[in-house]
């Protein structure tokens, strides 16, 4: 299945690449099955002081969501997601301040526009102090 569908999409760098792979496997004619008993541990530091970790993660999650929409021509989904993200942003800011700080909102927005504009690969982010 992987020979036909291809391996991990390097354009994403991290976060969301498994969704792309599952889509390509399905498009190649295979069935993806989920094992609800499988366990995968991500080794994250979910400490409020780990601000750069939060910035990087939220940037990539947003960027890669929009890269996925672009790659598969899901422009209606892209528009709906953008409208939803815009509408919910004030409430997300409250969450960002609770778990990290206000600047997390900036990286969330920056990731959104990077994805819409098609910026791929490992991001060259600098972190605002």
Whether 110 shows a pLDDT value over 80: the answer reads yes
pLDDT at residue 129 in the model: 57
Instruction: List, in order, residues 6 or more apart from 41 with CB less than 8 Å away.
Output: none
How far apart CA 30 and CA 120 sit, in angstroms, is: 27
Contact criterion met (CB below 8 Å) for 105 and 59: no
How far apart CA 74 and CA 126 sit, in angstroms, is: 30
Q: How many Cβ atoms from other residues are within 10 Å of residue 129's Cβ?
A: 5
Q: Where are the alpha helices (DSSP H) in 1-129?
A: 2-5, 17-27, 51-71, 75-99, 103-117
Tell me the pLDDT band of 40, cut-offs 50, 70 and 90.
confident
Task: Note the pLDDT tens digit of each residue in 11-26.
Answer: 998 899 999 999 999 9
What is the pLDDT of the chain when averaged over all its residues?
Answer: 93
Contact criterion met (CB below 8 Å) for 110 and 122: no
pLDDT at residue 24 in the model: 95
Task: Note the pLDDT tens digit of each residue in 59-99.
Answer: 999 999 999 999 999 999 999 999 999 999 999 999 999 99
pLDDT at residue 74 in the model: 98
Give the pTM. Answer: 0.89
Q: Which helix (H) or strand (E) holds 9?
A: none
Quick one: which of 7, 125, 128 has its CA closest to 62?
Answer: 125
How far apart CA 116 and CA 86 sit, in angstroms, is: 14
pLDDT at residue 128 in the model: 58
Q: Mean of the pLDDT values across residues 103-113?
A: 97
């Amino acid at each position: 299945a992987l020979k036909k569908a291809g391996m991990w999409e390097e354009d994403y760098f991290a976060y969301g690449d498994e969704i792309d792979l599952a889509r390509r496997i399905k498009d190649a004619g295979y069935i993806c099955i989920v094992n609800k008993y499988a366990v995968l541990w991500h080794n994250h530091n979910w400490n409020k002081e780990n601000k750069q970790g939060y910035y990087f993660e939220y940037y990539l999650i947003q960027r890669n969501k929009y890269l996925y929409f672009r790659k598969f021509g899901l422009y209606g989904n892209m528009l709906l997601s953008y409208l939803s993200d815009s509408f919910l942003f004030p409430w997300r800011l409250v969450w960002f301040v609770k778990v990290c700080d206000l600047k997390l909102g900036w990286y969330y927005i920056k990731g959104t526009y990077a994805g819409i504009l098609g910026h791929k690969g490992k991001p060259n982010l600098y972190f605002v102090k």
